[in-house]
Structure 1
Amino acid sequence: MIRLHHVAFSRSFRILWLLEEMGLEAEIRHYGLTDGSLRAEEYRSISPAGRVPALEIDGITIHESGAIVEYLCETRPEHGLGRLPGDPERVPFLEWLGFAETQASILASLNMQHLFMGDPSPASPAVLRLEAARLASTLKPMEAVMKKRDWLLPSGFSAADTMMGFNLFSAPYFVDFARFGALRAHIARIEARPAYVRAREKDGVQQFYSKPFYPVPEEA
């Protein structure tokens, strides 16, 4: 039995997509960010921090996207989506997994300030401007890589790309992608993958972005 605890359009989509790439059937349990379901005692017994993803597999429960990705790749190497010790791409593979969380932490900050702190938001426009600039600065090295190849690693598609499944689809809410042509092409390649399409069909409807773009508000 494989069971993924999931919120639509969140970091847990990374794992949903990777499971589809591996052809692994999983039960998907859906939660909401604002309905209290992640704070319920039943879920806290699974994920003490009340966060997603949480993956029940092989008789254990694993938290944190990067840890889950590494575990799946190392216990299911036949799918060729990880880079195991000794592989010349092992270090860049791990670097991309870590970079995905560096980028996601900025997205989480922007989500919190734009979406979850009330309206009108008490967040400082100066802080929002800084966070949007920080996010854009993390997109620039990815743009440079995507100008040279189709996927993050030279050898081709890997689980490192699935770790960006949350980031690349959330970032355009805060950063204008008109200047990131290579990343737009990369997103189109992702959207053409059958496993990605299947994962989106299982993902559910995102319920927190109500606008297509969130600009930095004017100074008071």
Structure 2
Amino acid sequence: MIRLHHCPQTRSMRSLWLLHELGIPFEVITYPFDKTLRSEAFLALNPAGRVPALELDGTVLFETGAITEILCERFSPDTLGRASDHGERAQWLVWVHFAETISQHSAALTQQHVALREDHMRSPIVMKLEAARIAKCYAALETRLQGREYLLDGGFSAADVSVGQAVYMARHFARVPAASALERWYARISARPAFLASLPGGAALFKQAFFEPWPLD
């Protein structure tokens, strides 16, 4: 039995997309992005009070990188994953976990634009700095994607899922450069049926497509 505990438009979308790519039976329990995640029942699943939590045959997993590694090792070690003796294993791990580098900046901006409800709580400086840091991540991806359709030469993998979900979130705060290798890659992966299946329904965290930084004056 596989059960994913999920909030739309959060890091748990990464695990949801991967489960759809794997094509295995699973159940989703969806939560609002609120204090429900601090309940005693949920903290028993993830002691940090965050999503995702993944129940897998009686074991509860959390942290998207760990979930990605475990699911791929078990269900798709040589297609979506890269086995420990595979020549692309090191790069697969690098890009699976690079997703968190992007996501930490998106999380900071989500706090600024969404979680902080009063304008006086928001910091224009933090907004501009974090958006610039996302742009630096985009530049790293642009370099990697030169001459490649996917992040690994061997083809589409969970590395593209992890980073693709992070870019999906980041696009709400920093625009992907037009006519770039990154833009073409994102269009390619975001057209996949499993990506589309992981998108939020009516309960979206972000209420608009793009958030402009607050002005400094």
* TM-score, normalised relative to structure 2: 0.92
Deviations 1:183-202 (A, max 9, x none): 222222113222223333xx
Q: Structure 1 stretches (4+) deviating beyond 6 angstroms?
A: none
CA distance, structure 2, for counterparts of residue 27 and residue 122 of structure 1: 38
Find 1:207's aligned residue among 204, 207, 210: 204
Change (3 A) 1:114 1:89: same
Report which stretch shifted further, 173-182 or 2-11.
Answer: 173-182
Deviations 1:10-63 (A, max 9, x none): 1111111111111111110000112x2211221111111111111101220100
Q: Which residue matches 1:27?
A: 27
CA distance, structure 1, for counterparts of residue 51 and residue 140 of structure 2: 27
Structure 1, gaps ≥5 residues long: none
* Paired residue type of 1:197: L
Whether the 8 Å CA contact 1:115–1:209 is kept in 2: the answer is yes
* Paired residue type of 1:11: R
Report which stretch shifted further, 180-189 or 161-170.
Answer: 180-189
CA distance, structure 2, for counterparts of residue 121 and residue 104 of structure 1: 25
Residues 39-54 of structure 1 aligned to structure 2 (within 5 Å): 39-54=38-53
Residues 4-83 of structure 1 aligned to structure 2 (within 5 Å): 4-34=4-34, 36-77=35-76, 80-83=79-82
Q: Which residue matches 2:158?
A: 159
* Deviation for aligned residue 1:79: 6.1
SS of corresponding position for 2:163: coil
CA distance, structure 1, for counterparts of residue 141 and residue 198 of structure 2: 23
Report which stretch shifted further, 63-72 or 40-49.
Answer: 40-49
* Deviation for aligned residue 1:123: 2.7
Whether the 8 Å CA contact 1:5–1:55 is kept in 2: the answer is yes
Whether the 8 Å CA contact 1:13–1:165 is kept in 2: the answer is no
CA distance, structure 2, for counterparts of residue 22 and residue 207 of structure 1: 24
Change (3 A) 1:124 1:191: closer
* Deviation for aligned residue 1:206: 4.5
Q: Name the % identity.
A: 40
* Paired residue type of 2:140: P
Residues 86-97 of structure 1 aligned to structure 2 (within 5 Å): 86-97=85-96
Deviations 1:159-197 (A, max 9, x none): 111112431211121112244632222222113222223
Whether the 8 Å CA contact 1:22–1:79 is kept in 2: the answer is no
CA distance, structure 1, for counterparts of residue 119 and residue 208 of structure 2: 15
SS of corresponding position for 2:121: coil
Whether the 8 Å CA contact 2:4–2:52 is kept in 1: the answer is yes
SS of corresponding position for 1:130: helix
SS of corresponding position for 1:42: helix
CA distance, structure 2, for counterparts of residue 100 and residue 78 of structure 1: 19
Q: Which residue matches 2:110?
A: 111
Change (3 A) 1:182 1:170: same
Whether the 8 Å CA contact 2:164–2:186 is kept in 1: the answer is no
Change (3 A) 1:69 1:78: closer
CA distance, structure 2, for counterparts of residue 59 and residue 90 of structure 1: 28
Report which stretch shifted further, 152-161 or 171-180.
Answer: 171-180
* Deviation for aligned residue 1:210: 2.2
Q: Which residue matches 1:129?
A: 128
Whether the 8 Å CA contact 1:9–1:166 is kept in 2: the answer is no
